[in-house]
Structure 1
Amino acid sequence: MNDAHACADRPTMLLIDGSSYLYRAYHAMADLRGPDGEPTGAIHGFVAMLRRIAKDIPSEHAVCVFDAKGPTFRDEIYPDYKAHRAPMPDDLRAQVAPIHEVVRLLGWPVLEVPGIEADDAIGTLARVAAASGHRVVISTGDKDLAQLVTPEVTLVNTMTNETLDEAGVLAKFGVRPERIIDYLTLIGDAVDNVPGVAKVGPKTAVKWLQEHGSLEGVMAAAATIKGVTGENLRQALGWLPTGRELITVRTDCDLSAQVAGWPGLGALALRPVDRAGLLDFLVRHGFRTWRTEIEREIAAEAAAQAPTAAPAAPLGPRAGETGDLFAFDDAPAEAPAPDAAAAAPQHETVLTREALAVWLDRVRAAELVALDTETDSLDPMRARVVGISLSVQPREAAYIPLAHDGPDAPEQLPLDEVLALLRPWLEDAGAAKVGQNVKYDTHVFANHGIAVRGWQHDTMLQSYVLEAHRPHSLESLAQRHLGRSGLSYEDLCGKGVKQIPFSQVAVDLATRYSGEDSEMTLEVHRTLWPQLVEPGAEGLRAIYETLEMPVSALLARIERHGVCIDVAVLEAQSRELAARLVELEAKAHEIAGQPFNLGSPKQLGEILFGKLGLPVKKKTASGAPSTDEEVLQELAADYPLPAVLLEYRALAKLRSTYTDKLPQMVNPDTGRVHTNYAQAVAVTGRLASNEPNLQNIPVRTPEGRRVREAFVAPPGHVLVSADYSQIELRIMAHLSDDPALLQAFAEGLDVHRATAAEVFGVPLAEVTPEQRRYAKTINFGLIYGMGAFGLAQSLGIEPKAARDYIERYFARYPGVRRFMDETRAQAAERGYVETLFGRRIHLVDIRGGSGPRRAAAERQAINAPMQGTASDLIKRAMLAVQDAIDTQGRATRIVMQVHDELVLEVPEAELDWVRTQVPARMAGVAALKVPLLAEVGVGRNWDEAH
């Protein structure tokens, strides 16, 4: 980055979009606290980012620009400007003043200008600095600032390692910098609530600007532009000049009140670090490692001034500190040694048998080896190896190219020979390995007939257990914990139709990319693992070691086996759905009194709210009446057409997502569907299923339930569904310790009927079906933190009646109310809740969110311990059932896990064993205060098994 931006004959002006940095630091960092309990995560992150950019881009002049409090001129132009933006979280607001303070102590000028935005101040500074002969670098993640790019002005995004000069802007947006304002005016800015032209996205905007030259040209040609977009453009002509004014970054602001000597830039020269003031700041806010560094520097200066003093110890950056993005000062002592972390990465390309032999010796001797594969496909069941990278210490890796076939590809070692040499080590359970998403690499090697053993660590799962609410890609982890950003896949292969396969990537670039993957994985592990073994983290370590890691291995087995699909059943269902869709379309046309496109929101809005005069419930960002599902659900209670439209949409989605798509997803080699189970997605620990998604089949409708008929057992087998009964209610009873709930489950009562008897004050035998339905809604509603308004909507009753039901419920179950109150308070104090087994579920907005977001976090605080505990239980159940299968040498296979249900493919001869052993194993995975109950069903297909 230095070479790209430093220039010997011109000084550099570095402009930091401080407001952008604030939010990025806040959302990327852990919830750190200083000695006084005040939040410090954003401070750590901001400082790390600032030190990183200062190192990468040496500059003579620099300024950190923040948004000032109060309205700006844009609010006068358009009162709804940024109306949808949530207020700054309280925890972040408390860190703004300390961030300003530490930025100044580091020698950076800080600028806030009332009445304008930070963007306008940056634009003005960039213009003046460029005119005075500076090379200007703007560090931001804001796309709006691309309009400022000139031959003298460049944008840098440290989060994505992206640099935008004039060519970069054109490549990214499809228009040159001088047309960015026109481009943004056409597409609008949803973040700032600036409407554009309805239904006009980036492709249409670029096309129009290429055809007509400018926004003025597009507006002049509006009458000739056909179709819906042309009509939308004509409707927006009156608005577009205002939109353009809102989007245009001003470059002519008067900064004389904030910058001494303006328009001179002398006041914006970087100053020396105020070490004494900085040391005081670090003590007050609980920085440890950086504080030690500053103390050593002060001591070294004092020693240098004293002739008799002993030489000062050499100073150097701590592990991951210099240039770190989001590396904070409380890193554990077990992190990589400073000199190892600071060294330039060394990536070796292995092209000879001699070099391979050296690396084989190294991995055999190493205590832990990071392993990564590069492949020809993202489909784990079909991916084949293109290359393998290995790392035994941070910042050092080897890449073994094996199937590169680009025009300049060198001669490579034979794939089969290398895999044969690696196989003993790969299949050695005693050879400890670490990877990032090891399940994928397990599949890749299995495709070559190699069963990898010895996966001791997975950095993705370590991150997931420590901070499930954050991203877990290696790119995110390296940026967050190491302050490093490597090559991206798109850097190497491009994107879209021009993307090339990895096999055609130049081997030197592939070596750097894959080498970074393995050596950064090892370095991330050395950062995260100490956090799992430190005192107080025993529960997290147990979740990682005894649950997530073994579940990952089991999921690989489940995915590889797959589940049988009867394609003929799906094809028949698809034909039936097609016929029903034709009927519904005709019915909709009949109700409307004219034909229209049921998939067009515009036409639908004209029919519903124009011709039929239905009440408008809400509007889109562009001001048009909304026709989303929530609106249609509300209208369907009183009007026939919305009900027809809802049914049409549901069946169309069912057909496109399942009955049409599932047959295309059958693997031709196995004749089965192989879903992917993603572990590191849901914060509660639940698994997510994709390609295909087996967990979102809409089983509440007859047509949705029928899709399960296509999931079948092979000849001589049956499918068994084993499902926990009312698991979350049982967990609620355990956690709340409510006597009435505990008694209901202990006696084996129908808990919904028992609740109805309590709430409605009637004998158990006299509870009506309607009362039981109400009680069931109350039971599950309260588990999900539902209030009176939500309950009233669910039951179709008045809010007052719903409040009465809730009060009556809590009067009968006081332990539940106590649990909820205590959980909310504990969540607000700690920032997270825990499952019964120690999994932590962080609630980002529980302390710092806006009113609605905090309320949602409080509702989540109630549900998360139950849903998270249920997730832990089903994972324990999977492991227990598989252990029984393996221990007893059974041929039964787990083929699916869906919510609280396991689906097994069972040989008919083992059915009796499964009927008794599986529910017993599932019930025995934990000792709750109420009995765990698992029920089984059997059938030739999944639907029958229910």
Structure 2
Amino acid sequence: MHELFVDLETFSPVNLNKSGVYPYAEHPDFDILLFGYSIDGGPVQVIDLASGEALPGEVVEALVDPGVTKWAFNAAFERVCLSAWLHRHHPELMVGHTFLDPSQWRCTMVWSAYVGLPMSLEQVATVLNLDVRKDAAGRKLITQFCTPAKPTVLNGGTTRNPPSSDPAGWEAFTAYNRRDVEVELAIHERLAAFPLPEAEWDIYTLDQTINDAGILLDKVLVDKAVECDRQHRATTLARAQKLTGLENPNSPIQLKEWLATHGCRMTSLTKTEVAAALETATGTVREALELRGDLAKSSVKKYEAMQHVAGRDGRGRGFLQFYGAGRTGRFAGRLVQVQNLPRNYLPDLDEARALVRTGNFDAIELLYPSVTDTLSQLVRTAFIPGEGHRFVVADFSAIEARVIAWLAGETTTLKAFEEGKDLYCEIASRMFGVPVEKHGVNGDLRQKGKIAVLACGFGGAAGALKAMGALRMGLAEHELQPLVDAWRAANPNIVDLWAQINSAAIDVISTRQPTRVGPLRFTVESGIFFIELPSGRRLAYVKPRLGENRFGGTSILYDGISTGRKWGTLETYGGKLTENIVQAIARDLLVYGMHRVSQAGHWIVMHVHDEIVVETTTATVDEICALMSTAPDWAAGLPLAADGYECEFYRKD
């Protein structure tokens, strides 16, 4: 046996969507019902464990045999579930291990994402037009057999529906399990022409190791934050009821009617509309709008998510999805969504945190203008190191600006980075032709340089500046286009890079002949447009074709996941492709740095965008930053830099 293809059907009273697979499989009532498998691509077998059948010895042994590669779609689920099952039924095979070794596993979901396909078994089968498809009727059967049920005569008054409660349904469920393995085998065969590089499987192993390790959650803070929010919302709602006389002032319909009778007509109560109305509102109308804004804020969703995901040891696991951002290969957040944590800027963060932990909610109400905002800022601090440990946090400095300057050969910017100069001052100086120093001569121009760098790097114009908040920062409407023009004039090689990438993409899609732009290679193979990065990894765009954009020019079309998670036609262009490429290279640099940190013996427990969090007793900030700042051979000449800090709980420095 060389390969084992696996699909499980399982039961647990834990809500999988809210808690993730780790608490789901950790629950004492967790069980594996059906074990579908194929050995080396042979006929699919289904072992009915729920009906008393036993897993063959060779299959049990294969689960821990490093010589056998285990395959599954969303393999993390099967691996974690089987880890829990083996601990219970074959503990001798798990001595010294909490989870099965991820290096022995391969995931067809990740492989699908690598070639630009959806991360859904059903959608992949449809997009690939496979002869075998996932049985859509299985969802009802999963609800029936895999989740808690109401006690009935058929299930013997228990909260589970056993096979005997519906023999015909169970037979269909067994067929459903068999079909899933068959679909996985078909996907594996179809993708064989586009193998995932072994280096990516190594990164997948590291990703799974980080997810397995998890990160400790401050249960006291989490529970008290939820309690504080509940108390504050009750107080706020009571005040709004008294002020307006409405039974439910949180109802948009009721509140809009009340506002209208008080001379404030509003078509909606969105955050933007309420903010606009507050600019002129006074008296009770103003207070009602402020209360509405407070009630509309959700400061505790992440705390509530933490309550669901915490394991018996207090650690949260499974927060990161490998290749979750398919366009670039970046990681996506899951469960608590660590990729979009609120920033913290309270000067007395430690004091605010202590007040919440001790339940001193009255002091929070008294000392801080917004309870909900304060709780939001404290979300990061709920991630804590284990006893006797501390966090070392390190992240890349201006990584995307460095990568695009390196790709484009923008030597002036690269030299500025090498000399440790302030990028925004350097860009502003080139844009306006005068010296610019932070907090010094022409220092007011630095902000214009910063907003231009952030908004204009991938073809953005005045609209991008607005989206970045240029008008809120004090820039006038008439300044925006000149600012764009100045930035482009100061960065001619980057502007040329957009055009080169756009032209290369159009040429290769129309001619099917490979071409290059610097270290990037463009090809079309079997209906997929590939961009090979300097690392050797490839970005994939399915069914590439040319169309006409809204300006009458040539547009680049491809198929992918669009709004609403549906598979459909997407449009791109040179600037957007450049953004994909730059972010993808930044991702490759991150995982290279993560490998170096891990191989040096340090324990990465989380990473967010271009930042890693190390739980340690010995590592120093300088040591971790030095490991992160070393560029791989394929990025020769790219000036990397990382900044870092220590903390007793996670925070933004």
Give the alignment's TM-score, normalised by structure 1: 0.51
* Secondary structure at the counterpart of residue 38 of structure 2: strand
The 8 Å contact of residues 149 and 161 in structure 2, kept in 1 or not, is answered as: no
Q: CA separation in 2, counterparts of 1:937 and 1:773?
A: 25
1:858-869 correspondence to structure 2 within 5 Å: 858=573, 860-869=576-585
Aligned to 2:516: none
* Secondary structure at the counterpart of residue 472 of structure 1: coil
Which of 447, 454, 463 pairs up with 1:773?
447
Q: CA separation in 2, counterparts of 1:928 and 1:587?
A: 62
**1:867/1:581 Cα in 2 relative to 1: closer, same or farther (>3 Å)?**
farther
**Counterpart of 2:541 in structure 1: which amino acid?**
H
Aligned to 1:671: 314
Shift of 1:729: 1.0
Which of 219, 235, 248 pairs up with 1:567?
219
Q: CA separation in 2, counterparts of 1:835 and 1:586?
A: 58
Shift of 1:643: 7.8
**Counterpart of 1:492 in structure 2: which amino acid?**
L
Which of 228, 247, 253 pairs up with 1:602?
253
1:328-339 correspondence to structure 2 within 5 Å: none
Q: CA separation in 2, counterparts of 1:646 and 1:874?
A: 42
**1:902/1:609 Cα in 2 relative to 1: closer, same or farther (>3 Å)?**
farther
**Counterpart of 2:9 in structure 1: which amino acid?**
E
**Counterpart of 1:601 in structure 2: which amino acid?**
P
Which of 409, 421, 425 pairs up with 1:749?
421
Aligned CA-pair RMSD: 3.5
1:272-311 correspondence to structure 2 within 5 Å: none
Aligned to 1:857: 572
1:38-117 correspondence to structure 2 within 5 Å: none
RCO higher in structure (CA 8 A, sep ≥6): 2
Q: Deviations over 1:782-806 (max 9, x none)?
A: 2354321331462114443100011
**Counterpart of 1:654 in structure 2: which amino acid?**
S
Which of 443, 446, 453 pairs up with 2:83?
446
Shift of 1:666: 1.9
Aligned to 2:486: 808
Q: CA separation in 2, counterparts of 1:663 and 1:430?
A: 39
Aligned to 1:734: 406
Q: Work out whether 1:923 is the aligned partner of 2:613.
A: no
Q: CA separation in 1, counterparts of 2:61 and 2:191?
A: 29
* Secondary structure at the counterpart of residue 605 of structure 2: strand
Q: Work out whether 1:699 is the aligned partner of 2:343.
A: yes
Q: Work out whether 1:842 is the aligned partner of 2:477.
A: no
Aligned to 1:653: 298
The 8 Å contact of residues 736 and 819 in structure 1, kept in 2 or not, is answered as: yes
Aligned to 1:32: none
Which of 151, 171, 186 pairs up with 1:508?
171
Range with greater deviation from structure 2 (518-527 or 632-641): 632-641
Q: Work out whether 1:900 is the aligned partner of 2:601.
A: no
**Which structure: larger Rg?**
1
Q: CA separation in 2, counterparts of 1:724 and 1:649?
A: 37
**1:752/1:598 Cα in 2 relative to 1: closer, same or farther (>3 Å)?**
farther
1:309-320 correspondence to structure 2 within 5 Å: none
Range with greater deviation from structure 2 (375-384 or 519-528): 375-384
Q: Deviations over 1:98-139 (max 9, x none)?
A: xxxxxxxxxxxxxxxxxxxxxxxxxxxxxxxxxxxxxxxxxx
The 8 Å contact of residues 369 and 391 in structure 1, kept in 2 or not, is answered as: yes
1:584-595 correspondence to structure 2 within 5 Å: none
**1:717/1:751 Cα in 2 relative to 1: closer, same or farther (>3 Å)?**
same
Shift of 1:595: 5.3
Q: CA separation in 2, counterparts of 1:843 and 1:807?
A: 34
Range with greater deviation from structure 2 (925-934 or 722-731): 925-934
* Secondary structure at the counterpart of residue 679 of structure 1: strand
* Secondary structure at the counterpart of residue 390 of structure 2: strand
The 8 Å contact of residues 631 and 638 in structure 2, kept in 1 or not, is answered as: no
**1:806/1:648 Cα in 2 relative to 1: closer, same or farther (>3 Å)?**
same
**Counterpart of 1:658 in structure 2: which amino acid?**
K
Aligned to 1:644: 290
Q: Deviations over 1:59-82 (max 9, x none)?
A: xxxxxxxxxxxxxxxxxxxxxxxx
Shift of 1:525: 0.8
* Secondary structure at the counterpart of residue 313 of structure 2: coil
**1:457/1:557 Cα in 2 relative to 1: closer, same or farther (>3 Å)?**
closer
How many residue pairs are counted as aligned between the two chains? 535
1:703-718 correspondence to structure 2 within 5 Å: 703=374, 704-718=376-390
Shift of 1:896: 0.8
Q: Work out whether 1:397 is the aligned partner of 2:44.
A: yes
**1:583/1:432 Cα in 2 relative to 1: closer, same or farther (>3 Å)?**
closer
Which of 581, 589, 595 pairs up with 1:873?
589
Q: Work out whether 1:546 is the aligned partner of 2:199.
A: yes
Shift of 1:567: 1.9
Q: CA separation in 1, counterparts of 2:433 and 2:291?
A: 41
Q: Deviations over 1:460-515 (max 9, x none)?
A: 12211111xx3232222333332322434324234798699686475533432222
Q: Deviations over 1:877-917 (max 9, x none)?
A: 223322222xxxxxx4211111111111112xx224x6414
**1:585/1:453 Cα in 2 relative to 1: closer, same or farther (>3 Å)?**
closer
Q: CA separation in 1, counterparts of 2:160 and 2:204?
A: 28
Which of 109, 132, 135 pairs up with 1:484?
132
* Secondary structure at the counterpart of residue 39 of structure 2: strand
Aligned to 1:933: 641
Shift of 1:456: 5.8
**Counterpart of 1:463 in structure 2: which amino acid?**
S
The 8 Å contact of residues 739 and 815 in structure 1, kept in 2 or not, is answered as: no
The structure that is strand-richer by fraction is 2
Aligned to 2:460: 786
Range with greater deviation from structure 2 (757-766 or 435-444): 757-766
* Secondary structure at the counterpart of residue 851 of structure 1: coil
**Counterpart of 1:400 in structure 2: which amino acid?**
I
Q: Deviations over 1:734-766 (max 9, x none)?
A: 122112211221211110121222223331334
Aligned to 1:116: none
Q: CA separation in 1, counterparts of 2:584 and 2:70?
A: 29
* Secondary structure at the counterpart of residue 904 of structure 1: strand
Q: CA separation in 2, counterparts of 1:372 and 1:563?
A: 28
Q: Deviations over 1:358-408 (max 9, x none)?
A: xxxxxx3xx433122222244421324323222136572111122x1xxxx
* Secondary structure at the counterpart of residue 795 of structure 1: coil
Identity %: 22
**1:658/1:424 Cα in 2 relative to 1: closer, same or farther (>3 Å)?**
same
* Secondary structure at the counterpart of residue 66 of structure 2: coil
Q: CA separation in 1, counterparts of 2:255 and 2:576?
A: 35
**1:626/1:686 Cα in 2 relative to 1: closer, same or farther (>3 Å)?**
farther
Shift of 1:865: 1.5
Q: CA separation in 1, counterparts of 2:295 and 2:406?
A: 41
The 8 Å contact of residues 734 and 928 in structure 1, kept in 2 or not, is answered as: no
* Secondary structure at the counterpart of residue 923 of structure 1: coil
The 8 Å contact of residues 428 and 453 in structure 1, kept in 2 or not, is answered as: no
Q: CA separation in 1, counterparts of 2:506 and 2:36?
A: 44
The 8 Å contact of residues 724 and 932 in structure 1, kept in 2 or not, is answered as: yes
Q: CA separation in 2, counterparts of 1:530 and 1:816?
A: 34
Q: Work out whether 1:527 is the aligned partner of 2:190.
A: yes
Shift of 1:772: 2.2
* Secondary structure at the counterpart of residue 695 of structure 1: helix
Aligned to 1:228: none
Give the alignment's TM-score, normalised by structure 2: 0.73
Shift of 1:928: 4.6
The 8 Å contact of residues 424 and 450 in structure 2, kept in 1 or not, is answered as: yes
The 8 Å contact of residues 149 and 160 in structure 2, kept in 1 or not, is answered as: no
Shift of 1:421: 5.3
Aligned to 2:114: 465
The runs of 5 or more residues in structure 2 that have no matched partner are 26-30, 88-93, 95-99, 151-158, 347-373, 510-528, 557-569
Aligned to 1:824: 502
Q: CA separation in 2, counterparts of 1:588 and 1:647?
A: 11
**Counterpart of 1:558 in structure 2: which amino acid?**
I
Aligned to 1:629: 271
Shift of 1:412: 2.2
**Counterpart of 2:187 in structure 1: which amino acid?**
V
Q: CA separation in 2, counterparts of 1:849 and 1:610?
A: 50
* Secondary structure at the counterpart of residue 823 of structure 1: helix
* Secondary structure at the counterpart of residue 825 of structure 1: helix
Q: CA separation in 1, counterparts of 2:187 and 2:588?
A: 26
